[in-house]
């Protein structure tokens, strides 16, 4: 998921700790016991993530892609709308209406460009690495904040998906992973020996 270390890095740390532990004097001191317990925890969590993480990541990526590609209602302007009734034909009324349109379009463009960057990151990484989406999602949320009320709904939807991702990962890590290897396949029977 959004882990700082890749599975390869975690495996290297785990194997290094286990290798070093072979040379530790017995009985182990508190720090050494803690190191071995941490190595066991790394292994357990890594196994759980490798077993169920790809499905959780794929669902998050698909949901985020769908959210960003679905048509959204046009953003509201960040300023109160000018009175555009037929009675307001003054140059000031026309300028105010034009400014409202420019402000709304600029906010929509900034959020739209950030959303397109997230979609491009999803589409451009067939490996399904969720961690690679961190920076583009952060940029999208920053663009939503900058857009003010116009970006609030999209930001809330993205945060909801992120919350669901975290909940799914916590659920995944809290379930025990099968530690025994599967039984070997039964030997074929019959033959001409």
What does each of the 193 residues of the chain score in pLDDT, given as a tens digit?
556 677 788 888 888 888 899 889 889 899 999 989 988 888 888 888 888 888 999 999 999 999 999 876 655 544 444 444 455 555 445 444 443 444 444 556 778 899 999 999 999 987 887 888 999 999 999 999 999 888 999 999 999 999 999 999 888 888 776 655 555 555 455 445 4
d(CA 125, CA 118): 11
**pTM of the predicted model as reported, rounded to 2 decimal places:** 0.63
* Helix locations, 124-148, DSSP H: 134-146
Query: Which pLDDT value is given to residue 109?
Result: 75
Specify the pLDDT at position 189: 52
Ordered alpha helix ranges (H), the chain:
7-21, 30-69, 91-123, 134-146, 149-174
The per-residue pLDDT for 160 is 96
Cα dihedral value 74, 75, 77, 80, nearest 10: 90
Distance between CA atoms of 74 and 76, rounded to whole angstroms?
A: 7
């Amino acid at each position: 998921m959004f882990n700082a270390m890749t599975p390869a890095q975690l495996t290297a740390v785990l194997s290094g700790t286990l290798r070093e532990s072979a040379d530790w004097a017995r009985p182990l001191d508190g720090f050494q016991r803690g190191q071995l317990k941490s190595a066991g925890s790394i292994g357990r969590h890594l196994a759980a993530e490798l077993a169920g993480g790809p499905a959780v990541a794929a669902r998050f990526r698909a949901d985020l892609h769908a959210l960003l590609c679905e048509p959204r209602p046009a953003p509201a302007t960040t300023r109160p709308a000018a009175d555009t009734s037929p009675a307001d034909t003054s140059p000031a009324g026309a300028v105010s209406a034009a400014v409202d349109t420019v402000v709304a379009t600029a906010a929509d463009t900034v959020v739209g460009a950030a959303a397109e960057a997230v979609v491009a990151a999803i589409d451009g990484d067939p490996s399904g690495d969720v961690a690679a989406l961190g920076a583009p999602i952060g940029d999208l949320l920053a663009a939503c904040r900058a857009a003010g009320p116009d970006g609030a709904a999209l930001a809330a939807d993205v945060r909801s998906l992120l919350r669901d991702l975290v909940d799914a990962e916590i659920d995944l890590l809290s379930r025990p992973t099968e530690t025994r290897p599967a039984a070997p396949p039964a030997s074929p029977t019959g033959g001409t020996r």
